[in-house]
Chains A and B, each alone.
Chain A
Amino acid sequence: MALIKKKKKAETPPLSTASLPDIVFMLLFFFMVTTTMREVTLLVKLKKPQATEIQKLERKDLTTYIYVGAPKNAELGSEPRIQLADQLASVGDVQQWVILQRESINEAERTKFTVSIKADVDAKMGLISDIKQELRKAQSLKLSYSANPAASAEELYKAY
């Protein structure tokens, strides 16, 4: 049969790489869109607590973060400290700073302004309460206790 007789050397055609840039560009755009640059360098040790009833903070631009934890720099002691933006601060600075942050956002959306406290598990409530008082003085009443999602409530009891 003529068809079978046509036995040429079976050469695998070279793989076309013409679409490779397209694929890479697709990935590139995905990451460009989803990326958020790290805004601050953490100066404090931060291990967030776990919780189950957490809600997502929808608008990052309307959220301000306050970090609380023991300083990474051992020379500053092991007592938990407050970090605002890129520097360690004291409780007295919180009010002024939060007001400034709120001023910087669009007036129409200022009511949605939220402060997220990212505190270490080992922080004491004394310091957190002081921050809460300062937030109340600054009339910034929406607050979020930042936490990592826990698989189940039972998991939380175990660690207690």
Chain B
Amino acid sequence: MASKKRAVPEINAGSMADIAFLLLIFFLVTTTMDVDKGLLVKLPPWTEEKSEEQDIKEKNIFVVLVNAQDQLLIESEYATLEDVRRLTKEFIDNNGDGTCEDCRGLRDPASSDNPGKAVISLQNDRGTSYNTFVKVRNELLGAYTELRNELATRKYGRDYESLSEGDKEEVNAVYPQFISEAEPVQVGG
């Protein structure tokens, strides 16, 4: 018997690149690299009965009303989207009773007592467009972000985002976020 040791033929690796390309193109086509981003919001827990009247002074509530025509009414006065951020900041930072040492507000006695008591109430109509709602919500969040940033710069000389967790909490304690989204009503239209 001719039992000569046969040499195993080498596998041709030339087509390996083709196979890899095929896979690569498949993943290139199916891939979607969208990261979902959005305005993070916390809803109040559900209660069966009408929410009980809370004891909040009228001057500590900042009412932003958006009607079905996407028009804005802030504290009973017409306003545009550009005004929202500025007015909100003035309201939060007002520091009417002087207990907030880090605030730089106007100390108007008719406006909020301190940022810990200031509540922003966003009210909208059922006919308000989602686009406008998100923009207004964005401005309200922006007002808090700006105030926190300003405080972080004053206190630590850095941006809020670059602070450590502990420092962030300290800043948050000065400017806690109270934004309430009221259940919609038929404001008109």
Residues of A participating in the B interface, judged by any CB pair closer than 8 Å = 17, 20-21, 24-25, 27-28, 31-32, 34-38, 49-57, 60, 63, 65, 68, 114, 116-126, 128-129, 132-133, 135-137, 139, 141-149, 153, 156-157, 160
Contact = CB atoms under 8 A, between A and B. Distances in A.
Interface string B84-115: 01000000000000000000000000000000
Contact of A157 (B82, B127, B181): B82
Interface in B111-125: 124-125
Contact of B129 (A21, A32, A114, A124): A124
Nearest to A115: B43
A21 B17 contact: yes
B134 A147 contact: yes
A135 B41 CA distance: 12
Nearest to A145: B39
Contact of B135 (A54, A125, A137, A160): A160
A118 B39 CA distance: 11
B126 A122 contact: no
B27 interface: yes
Contacts of B35: 56-57
B38 A21 contact: no
Nearest to A17: B17
A21 B27 contact: no
Closest 8 CB pairs between A and B? A126-B126, A144-B38, A31-B27, A136-B46, A121-B131, A53-B141, A146-B38, A51-B138
Interface stretch (B18-26, B150-158, B165-173): B18-26
Nearest to B81: A160
Contacts of A139: 45-46
Contacts of B20: 21, 24-25, 28
Contacts of A17: 17
A117 B91 CA distance: 29
Given A53-B145, A55-B40, A128 B133 contact: yes
A31 B28 contact: yes
A100 B27 CA distance: 31
A57 B130 contact: no
19 contacts: A28-B23, A34-B33, A49-B135, A56-B35, A60-B36, A117-B38, A121-B130, A125-B124, A125-B128, A125-B129, A135-B43, A136-B43, A136-B45, A141-B45, A144-B36, A146-B36, A146-B38, A149-B37, A153-B142
